[in-house]
């Protein structure tokens, strides 16, 4: 009998996805460039379900029922193109190639168009949740044609995480929509992690709490509106003691954050789309700053503030409110980017559904996402989450504390780029007038770039070098 689906690329992610499929009763063909991985999978986990191991691409393709569903789980970039080129000639019209790797959505659009020409479906699929998620239920964000989702959806929904019985998997939209949404998911993840890191730093250096005490604070927060996977693991990491030295684990780790690139892609794409994702950008830059060891060493002796204010009473509660409000901003910016991408590429993405499928399986899974779903259910065209009734009220109530935290950070010289940029974004949106009017005046002065007026239609230019009269441009 034939396999219902196949997975090629059996490193951690592919192996666990294949096991997840098999455990759900789907016979799964398995293949890897280096055959040892295929053998190891069948030897170690063969009793979990029906695996159909294949030594060659030809054998692999022949073992799949039609239309064929072939999942690629290899390193993103050139390896993905190489594998597509290896398998596509062996497939027949109507067959589906699913790329579950972390591809850039522009690559996915290119590949989808090329394979469509050859009569094949190409389904760029964002998969979040790491290796544990792949095995026990990830959040799955498939792009590609609606037709391909009919054949793939039931299988993917079967192996996805479930929240209240709802699978964390939905057809996001055509071609690169799935990988685009996965990219923004990762961008939001960067922002969320940075805000949590700043919370820790402030509790430690403004309030003087120990890592173990801060772990307790995070545990408490995890029983409230901030309840999420990231808050939960933060408490675990902070409570951990290094076995070798007996010191807090967080004190023996080199303070230089690394990145694989999806945060950077989010910001690059946002710049192209003209979407202000300042919180995500600050998070990417914060990692970048941390990694510039030479720069930091050179600047270490620069003067800081003399004052040593300690806001102990109520400070942890203030930080909770700053974290909550900044987090709303980060999500508002990320969802704005998805909306802009959807309009640019004609994807017609349902924003409420994105919040729904991120409630489980993925790294940013959180109680909070139910609220975002509700916001888009109440008004699918809401211009920003910040003006949704619930969030407007909650952030409004948090803003005094948020301002105190940003002020404290500035006074003590503790960097809080995430908190402060989120607050600046909030205040920018709220402002009756922005100094952009002055910027326009400067642009008109040095470059005759023209400006619009508040009281009349049209474009205008002031003759700055002449009698300074105004002309219509
Ligand atoms: P890796 O990204 O480490 O890729 C290793 C796999 O790619 C192996 O199966 C390897 O085969 C295969 N491969 C390479 Br490299 N070049 C190949 C080529 N030219 N032809 C055929 N196969 C080739 O694996 P991973 O960490 O399991 O991740 C898989 C994908 O999932 C990546 O795109 C990753 O970004 C994405 N992802 C990972 C995570 C995570 O938490 N790790 C989460 C979400 C998404 P070999 O065994 O013969 O060397």
Q: State pLDDT tens for residues 102-155.
A: 999 999 999 999 999 999 999 999 999 999 999 999 999 999 999 999 999 999
State the ipTM, two decimals: 0.97
For residue 311, what pLDDT is reported?
60
From the CB of 101, is ligand 1 less than 6 Å away?
yes
Distance CA 183, CA 292 (A): 25
Q: Ligand 1 center to residue 443 CA distance, Å?
A: 49
* Ligand 1 nearest atom to the CA of residue 33, by list position: 48
User: Residue 137: left if φ>0, alpha if ψ -120 to 50, beta else—which one?
Assistant: left
Average pLDDT, the chain: 97
From the CB of 83, is ligand 1 less than 6 Å away?
yes
Sign of CA dihedral 255, 280, 329, 100: negative
C-alpha dist (Å) from residue 409 to 31, 201, 205, 315, 417 = 53, 10, 9, 12, 10
* Ligand 1 nearest atom to the CA of residue 78, by list position: 19
Q: 384: which 2 tokens?
A: 């920003």
Q: Ligand 1 center to residue 75 CA distance, Å?
A: 4
Give the Cα-Cα-Cα angle 355, 193, 255 (nearest 5 degrees).
165
For residue 131, what pLDDT is reported?
94
Distance CA 407, CA 427 (A): 15
Q: Ligand 1 center to residue 8 CA distance, Å?
A: 10
For residue 161, what pLDDT is reported?
98
Question: Is the pLDDT confidence value at 308 over 80?
Answer: no
Instruction: List the residue whose alpha carbon is closest to atom 33 of ligand 1.
Output: 101
**Per-residue model confidence as pLDDT tens digits over 411-446:** 999 999 999 999 999 999 999 999 999 999 999 999
| Cβ-based neighbours of 294, under 8 Å, separated by 6 or more | none
* 366: DSSP letter: B
From the CB of 14, is ligand 1 less than 6 Å away?
yes
Catalytically active residues are 182, 189
**Per-residue model confidence as pLDDT tens digits over 39-97:** 999 999 999 999 999 999 999 999 999 999 999 999 999 999 999 999 999 999 999 99
Are 8 and 72 a contacting pair, CB within 8 Å?
yes
pTM of the model: 0.97
Q: How many other CB atoms are there within 10 angstroms of residue 459's CB atom? A: 12
From the CB of 74, is ligand 1 less than 6 Å away?
yes
Pocket test for ligand 1, best of 75, 98, 111, 132 (most atoms within 8 A of CB): 75
Q: Ligand 1 center to residue 353 CA distance, Å?
A: 28
Distance CA 215, CA 224 (A): 15
From the CB of 13, is ligand 1 less than 6 Å away?
yes
* Ligand 1 nearest atom to the CA of residue 128, by list position: 44
For residue 392, what pLDDT is reported?
98
Strand partners, 166: 163
pLDDT grade, residue 338 (50/70/90)? very high
Instruction: List the residue whose alpha carbon is closest to atom 42 of ligand 1.
Output: 130
For residue 312, what pLDDT is reported?
66
Look at strands 121-128 and 96-99 and give their pairing: parallel
For residue 309, what pLDDT is reported?
62
Q: Ligand 1 center to residue 86 CA distance, Å?
A: 16
pLDDT grade, residue 306 (50/70/90)? confident
Percentage of the chain with pLDDT > 90? 97
Instruction: List the residue whose alpha carbon is closest to atom 18 of ligand 1.
Output: 79
With H, G, I as helix, E, B as strand and everything else as coil, classify residue 69.
Answer: strand
* Ligand 1 nearest atom to the CA of residue 82, by list position: 19
- For 25-39, b/e burial (b = at least 16 CB within 10 A) is ebbbbbbbeeeebbe
| Cβ-based neighbours of 227, under 8 Å, separated by 6 or more | 221, 366, 367, 368
From the CB of 385, is ligand 1 less than 6 Å away?
no
Are 125 and 100 a contacting pair, CB within 8 Å?
yes
Instruction: List the residue whose alpha carbon is closest to atom 49 of ligand 1.
Output: 34
DSSP character string of 184-225: HHHHHHHHHHHHHHHHHHHHHHTS---HHHHHHHHHHHTTTT
Q: Ligand 1 center to residue 294 CA distance, Å?
A: 33
């Amino acid at each position: 009998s034939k396999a219902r689906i196949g997975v090629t690329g059996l490193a951690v992610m592919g192996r666990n996805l294949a096991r997840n499929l098999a455990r759900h009763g789907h016979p799964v063909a398995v293949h890897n460039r280096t055959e040892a991985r295929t053998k190891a999978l069948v030897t170690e986990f063969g009793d979990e379900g029906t695996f159909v191991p294949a030594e060659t691409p030809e054998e692999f393709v022949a073992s799949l029922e039609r239309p064929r569903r072939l999942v690629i789980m290899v390193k993103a970039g050139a390896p993905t193109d190489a594998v597509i080129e290896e398998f596509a000639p062996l497939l027949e019209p109507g067959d589906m190639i699913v790329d579950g790797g972390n591809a850039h959505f522009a690559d996915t659009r290119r590949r989808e168009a090329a394979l469509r020409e050859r009569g094949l479906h190409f389904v760029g699929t964002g998969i979040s949740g790491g290796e544990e998620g792949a095995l026990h239920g990830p959040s799955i964000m498939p792009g590609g044609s609606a037709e391909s989702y009919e054949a793939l959806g039931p299988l993917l929904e079967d192996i996805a995480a479930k929240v209240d019985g709802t699978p964390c998997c939905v057809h996001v939209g055509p071609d690169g929509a799935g990988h685009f949404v996965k990219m923004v998911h990762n961008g939001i993840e960067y922002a969320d992690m940075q805000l949590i890191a700043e919370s820790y730093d402030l509790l430690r250096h403004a309030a003087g709490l120990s890592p173990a005490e801060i772990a307790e604070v995070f545990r408490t927060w995890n029983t409230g509106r901030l309840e999420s996977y990231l808050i939960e693991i933060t408490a675990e990491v902070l409570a951990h003691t290094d076995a070798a030295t007996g010191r807090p684990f967080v004190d023996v780790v080199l303070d230089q954050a690394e990145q694989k690139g999806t945060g950077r892609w989010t910001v690059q794409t946002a710049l192209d789309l003209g979407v202000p994702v300042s919180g995500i950008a600050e998070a990417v830059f914060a990692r970048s700053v941390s990694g510039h060891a030479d720069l930091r060493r050179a600047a270490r002796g620069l003067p800081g503030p003399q004052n040593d204010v300690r806001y102990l009473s109520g400070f942890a509660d203030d930080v909770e409110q700053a974290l909550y409000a900044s987090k709303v901003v980060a999500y508002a910016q990320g969802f704005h980017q998805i909306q802009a991408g959807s309009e640019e590429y004609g994807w017609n993405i349902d924003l409420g559904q994105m919040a729904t499928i991120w409630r489980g399986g993925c790294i940013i899974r959180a109680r909070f996402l139910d609220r975002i779903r509700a916001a888009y259910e109440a008004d699918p065209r809401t211009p920003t989450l910040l003006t949704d009734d619930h969030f407007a009220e909650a952030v409004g109530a948090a803003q005094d504390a948020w301002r105190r935290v940003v002020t404290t950070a500035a006074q003590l010289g503790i960097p809080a780029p995430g908190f402060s940029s989120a607050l600046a974004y909030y205040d920018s949106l709220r402002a009756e007038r922005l100094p952009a009017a002055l910027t326009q005046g400067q642009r008109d002065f040095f470059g005759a770039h023209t400006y619009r007026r508040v009281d009349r239609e049209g474009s205008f230019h002031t003759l700055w070098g002449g009698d300074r009269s105004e002309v219509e441009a």
